[in-house]
Structure 1
């Protein structure tokens, strides 16, 4: 499985892990179909994987990913965006079908 994490997303994840995690903790990222970009997600810092989760490492960042998330994240770039009114992950999927959204709306922000 292969996905990319941008520097902005990496910085956000490291902050989460530093403040909410302990040794061996990882970001549990549950991705599901939805939103204009095709993906929405829930995330939390956890000390151990749940049943069915797989440990995936991107660089030195650890993720616990359920099976569906592993499939949906293939080839995706995970970014983090912060605006005056919202902040959250943005999933950039080069394989997603184009929708009628504007360019600005084409990437789905997901706050946790």
Structure 2
């Protein structure tokens, strides 16, 4: 079980590092890595495709990280026993004691008014 967890952790870390590189290579104003290949205008032939590739790669890596995290939780979770087969034993209620008296002395129960 620990090898599966280790495998998922390594894959999540690799995808996270790749996502960091992708985000840092982009420039919010249209420059970034694509700006170094053909200027700052994204209307050129190759630069627009670079922007599209980097945006798709960013979304894909984000989705891969989410899926890997969910799979790691599902596959490495320990099953819990939330339902018990046998009913819980109930104890009899403790006898009532009068306030200010010894806790071992019990209060007398009044007799019912009868005929």
Question: TM-score interval w.r.t. the shorter chain?
Answer: under 0.3
Relative to the length of structure 2, the TM-score reads: 0.21
Greater share of helix residues, 1 or 2? 2
Which is richer in strand? 1
Q: Larger RCO: Structure 1 or Structure 2 (Cα < 8 Å, ≥ 6 residues apart)?
A: 1
